[in-house]
Amino acid sequence: MKSEQPKVLHEAAGIPLLGHVLATAAHAAGGVPRSVIVVVGAGRERVLAYLRDSAPDAVAVLQDPPRGTGDAVKCAVPALEDAEIVIVLSGDVPLLTSGTLDTMLARFEEQEGTAVAFLTAHLAEPAAYGRVVRDATGAVTRIVELKDASPNEREIREINAGVYAFDRAFLQESLPLLRDQNAAGEFYLTDLLGLGVAAGRPVIGVLVENPDEIRGVNSRLDLAHIEGLLLHAATDRAMAAGATLIRPETITLESSVVFEPDTIVEPFVTMRGKTHVGSGTCIGQGTVVKDAHFGKGVLVRPYCVIEGSRLEDGAVVGPFARLREGTELAEGAHVGNFVETKKARLGKGVKANHLTYLGDVTIGERTNVGAGVITCNYDGYAKHPTVIGSDVFVGSDVQLVAPVTVGNGAIIGAGTTVTKDVPADALATSRAPQKIYEAGGRKYHERKTKS
């Protein structure tokens, strides 16, 4: 990957590769795996930190030094507890589905005494995958890694996907028999299949219907391809749920985004994280959204950035607005051109339509905020709140120096700097008196022209 980041922590569609695999594991076998064990080698500190934050129930075991897949599974054996079946997954194969795992488990259980079932796929270009060798009857005899394959074996198009279901007793008895007499000098987990055949126990290759499921990631190009497949699947799900996606090939949707019917998403929109879009909502062209909730009938005009915010029914945003974390727009609130909000709670029907910054502020219902208004919430050391009541008119170019409160029904004149609380129904101004100098403009121009 040419990266300091461990490969399994590189993200595809907003989720680390390892996160995709853990989600698949959690839903396998009806969603009741007894335990999930993660064998950690390269980049252990970062991987362990990710597991602590995102998968605290997973058991982490260390492989040091890394000596192949067989050695990795051997490291996990002490953590297997009383499991009868052990599923082995690869941390860099994110597209595998729990349904495919369940199919493999069903095939495992079809024959009594099965040693192992594993996933295979037919690829036109098998590249570096291990080849599945079968006898004349079609029974699996072994898997040969590319480095150790003969020219004839390299021509085989059926590959090992690196996903297995082992009989626990067979696994534990056979792991000590592995040897590192191969081109890589490693202990191959795939050698267990040959041991199973030699013991006369069923070894079952289960063909994957969709080869994309077993695609691994070994480069940035692989990662981009995987992400493209995930994003395409997400747009398909959105349209199946009743959303209209205009030019869906230009839209980036993560799998965690949920749409209600009759939503519209315009071209070049990016939507990530835990985002919910209510029915009748329109997300305008070029908008970027992360971790946001949209009620019904919300209108987001083009080129807005919305993160960590909640917009209730009928709210209107943009164009060119930025809603930062903690923003809450009540029903019918309007936030317009070049307005930025942060930890701002705007009540029902509030309007802030032009060139405004609203930070750490609570605004009551039906209040109008004029152009160029700023809440001065930071004094260089700490953030302070501003509270504006209902039915307030805040004129253009007003600065509200927090902490400050404006009562219901008050009027703040244009150009005012508010440094003290304003009572309800009061009028507050702080303008210098305007002066008029007769003919002053003409005299100024004459003086400048002569000079």
3-state secondary structure of 195: helix
**Residue 281, φ and ψ in degrees, nearest 5:** -85, 145
**15-16/310-311 β-pairing:** unpaired
191/176 Cα distance (integer angstroms) = 11
407/424 Cα distance (integer angstroms) = 4
Paired tokens of 266: 């315009």
313/152 Cα distance (integer angstroms) = 65
HSE-CB of 165 using CA atoms within 13 angstroms: 26
Residue with tokens 């191969």: 182
Paired tokens of 360: 């750490």
HSE-CB of 437 using CA atoms within 13 angstroms: 5
CA dihedral 153, 154, 155, 156 (to 10 degrees): 60
Nearest Cα neighbor of 314 from 334, 335, 298 is 298
Paired tokens of 7: 């490969």
Residue with tokens 């480069």: 219
Amino acid identity of residue 261, one-letter, is P
178/300 Cα distance (integer angstroms) = 60
227/234 Cα distance (integer angstroms) = 10
3-state secondary structure of 221: helix
Cα 237 off chain centre by: 16
Q: Please give the angle made by the CA atoms of 147, 150 and 153, to the nearest 5 degrees.
A: 100
Q: Which of 27, 225, 293, 354 is catalytic?
A: 354
61/361 Cα distance (integer angstroms) = 48
Q: Establish whether 354 is a catalytic residue.
A: yes
CA dihedral 41, 43, 46, 51 (to 10 degrees): -20
91/10 Cα distance (integer angstroms) = 11
HSE-CB of 409 using CA atoms within 13 angstroms: 4
284/287 Cα distance (integer angstroms) = 6
Polymer length of the chain: 451
- Catalytic residue annotation: 354
